[in-house]
Amino acid sequence: MDTSFAHVTELAKTKYHRKSDRYINYGTAGFRTKAADLTHIMFRMGLLAVLRSKYKKATIGVMITASHNPVEDNGIKLVDPMGEMLAANWEHYASELANVTDSEVKTVLNKIIQEATIDMSEKSNIFLARDNRPSSVTLASAFLEGVSCFKSHFHDFGEMTTPMLHYVVRCENTQKRYGKPTEDGYYEKLGEAFLKLRGSKPSCPGLYKPRLILDAANGVGAEKVCLLKHHLNDALDIEVLNDGSDGILNHECGADFVKTRQKLPTGLPLKVGDRYVSFDGDADRIVYFYIDKNSKFHLLDGDKIACLVAKYLKDLLNTCELDLKLGNVLTAYSNGSAKEYISKTLGVDVACTPTGVKHLHHKATEYDIGIYFEANGHGTVIFSGHAEDVILNTAGNTELPIEKRVAAQKLCTLVDLINQAVGDSISDMLLIETILHSLGWDVEKWSNIYQDRPYSLCQVKVKDKSIFKTTFDEQRLIEPKELQDAIDELVAKYTEGRSFVRASGTEDIVRVYTEAKSLDEVKQLSFAVCEKVYDIGHGVGDRPVRSA
């Protein structure tokens, strides 16, 4: 091992030396920055991934991607054995190892080994995948050289969507009970479940039409959907556009562009009556949209998806008469109308967590069946072991009425259709199409289950973002108290008013979210809150203006 450490030090100081003193933090999305600044981090994360694998005595996944970021960016994140995000205490190790000087790499590795009590004789195994960015191949090579320093076993899957990587890691660590840990195994599992839910005689009930136009963001999901189509037996006609053949990754297209800009992606021929869906660059976010007869754009984001899924699952559970706790986890950025629809119309429990998938995922595990979606379209459904057992027993109980057994059998099949490890554009798309087909709905009927309250999202520059401290769910300020008191006073003046502020995780910026009954009231309330934030935060630069 001393020889390996010597080799590590040599490579860290020469081939993979740190070129910048800029600190980079491991966040919810892992490391993410300009690809040119990541080479030394990739090498060091190869080392850390091996340590994590030895510590967990399991296969660890690593994904090289920058998701919805511009093509010149890239990133890396580690995936734990059940396909979940890296544990928080190891996020700290990742940040520390990435930012020390080249000569300190060996010292930090030893520190991690000692603090985590890692048996270095333990076997290790790494699953690696990457998106289709030009920089991903070179960065993958740097990562694997780090892995090779500890002579670890690894499997390079090449180009995959992020959710596929999470999927194969979970399959491998459950002795393949979750599925086959291969790309073909992923397509087979989802395809079989989708066709089973469609029925042996596929039809087009009600307003539903089995045709979909996909904006693939010129990302890795384009090719994967084309491969998936071979497993769907023409039950769903998916036209894949923005497939990377002549466009730039995430440039004026993709789920993040459509959601944040509230506008149509380039590269799509628009037609009234068609149903459109957008993925992001690594296919873990999804949003739907359509054009009405007046050529007006309508977005169905993570909130609308959460509501649709909650309705379908609640209906099935009611039919089965199963005593299982169904919950829907959202964030403060979810529209107030969505929360009201889920809690009051559907009677489903709603929980709110801080922004960040890891927070939503963790909270969702507290339910028998937990649905979580961020407004940006990242989300999934999690079934507890207890829920799966109850559903399976109900489906197989021949003494029950046929309608109860059929509903339970659908729930069993949904467990296979849903990627429970992480938000998955492909899996979520098939789930949504299954629900729309079952209900006989077109996208417009889905859109009309509720109307979004008018809202705005602004940002205000401040001198020190650290003075703005929120409650756990980020909906109220703990400090400065006088600012929260002022916001409460302002909100009380407006019908259905709601406003909260939270500091950026990276910049001296405070984001201000505002809702009200009318757009004029939103503008008035938003500006008033922004002024209070500016004054208390002793802001610099121009007065705040609406940015999104």
CA distance 3 to 17: 19
Q: Is 535 annotated as a binding residue?
A: no
Mean of the pLDDT values across residues 46-70? 96
Determine the pLDDT at residue 213.
97
- Residue 146 assigned as binding residue: no
Torsion of CA 381, 382, 383, 384, to 10 degrees: -160
Domains of the chain, start order: 2-159 (3.40.120.10), 186-298 (3.40.120), 302-421 (3.40.120.10), 455-536 (3.30.310.50)
Whether the pLDDT of residue 490 is over 90: the answer is yes
| Residue 445 in tokens | 């009927």
pLDDT band at 202 (very low <50, low <70, confident <90, very high): low
161 labelled binding-site residue: no
- Asked whether the predicted pLDDT for residue 3 surpasses 70, the reply is no
Q: What are phi and psi of 446, to 5 degrees?
A: -60, -45
Structural tokens at position 27: 């966040």
Q: Is 121 annotated as a binding residue?
A: no
What phi and psi values does residue 375 have, to the nearest 5 degrees? Answer: -60, -25
* pLDDT over 50 (residue 107): yes
pLDDT at 540: 45
- The per-residue b/e assignment along 336-347, b for 16 or more CB within 10 angstroms, e otherwise, is bbbbebbeeebe
| Banded model confidence at residue 506, pLDDT cuts 50, 70, 90 | low
Element (H, E) at 327: strand 326-331
340 belongs to an annotated ligand binding site: no
Q: Which structure tokens are listed for 419?
A: 């990627």
Active-site choice (4, 20, 53, 67) = 67
Q: How far apart are CA 544 and CA 548, in angstroms?
A: 12
Q: How confident is the model at residue 4 (pLDDT cuts 50, 70, 90)?
A: low
Model confidence band, residue 227 (pLDDT cutoffs 50, 70, 90): very high
* SS3 assignment, position 55: helix
User: In angstroms, rounded to a whole number, what is the distance separating the alpha carbons of residues 31 and 402?
Assistant: 51
Residues 59-84, mean pLDDT to the nearest whole number: 95
Q: Burial code of 3-25, b = ≥16 C-beta within 10 A, e = fewer?
A: eebeebbebbeeebebeeeeebb
Residue 507 corresponds to which amino acid? E
Question: CA 480 to CA 232: how far, in whole Å?
Answer: 55
Confidence of residue 546 (pLDDT cuts 50, 70, 90): very low
Residues near 236 by beta carbon (within 8 Å), at least 6 away in sequence: 194, 210, 211, 212, 229, 430, 433
Evaluated on CA atoms 398, 402, 405, 410, the torsion sign reads positive
Q: pLDDT at residue 539 above 60?
A: no
pLDDT at 170: 97
* 67 among known catalytic residues: yes
Closest CA to 525 of 512, 509, 534, 535: 512
Per-residue pLDDT at 538: 65
- Per the document, the length of the chain is 548
Burial of 452 (0-12, 13-18, 19+ CB in 10 A): middle
Phi/psi at 402 (nearest 5 deg)?
A: -60, -35
What's the alpha-carbon Rg for the chain, to the nearest Å?
24
Average pLDDT over residues 14-25: 90
Alpha helices in 207-301 (DSSP H): 221-228, 255-261
- Give the list of residues 6+ apart from residue 9 with CB closer than 8 angstroms, or none: 102, 103, 105, 106
By percentage, how much of the chain surpasses pLDDT 70?
Answer: 96
For the chain, what is the mean pLDDT? 93
- 284 annotated to a ligand binding site: yes
Tokens of 21: 């003193």
Could you tell me the pLDDT band of residue 545, with boundaries at 50, 70 and 90?
A: very low
- The stretches of 270-384 forming alpha helices (DSSP H) are 302-320, 336-340, 357-364
pLDDT band at 21 (very low <50, low <70, confident <90, very high): confident
Q: Is 503 labeled as ligand-binding?
A: yes
CA dist., res. 28 & res. 87, Å (int) = 10
375 is in an annotated binding site: yes
What's the average model confidence in pLDDT over 472-487? Answer: 93
Query: Is the model more confident about 540 or about 35?
Result: 35
Q: Does 505 belong to an annotated binding site?
A: yes
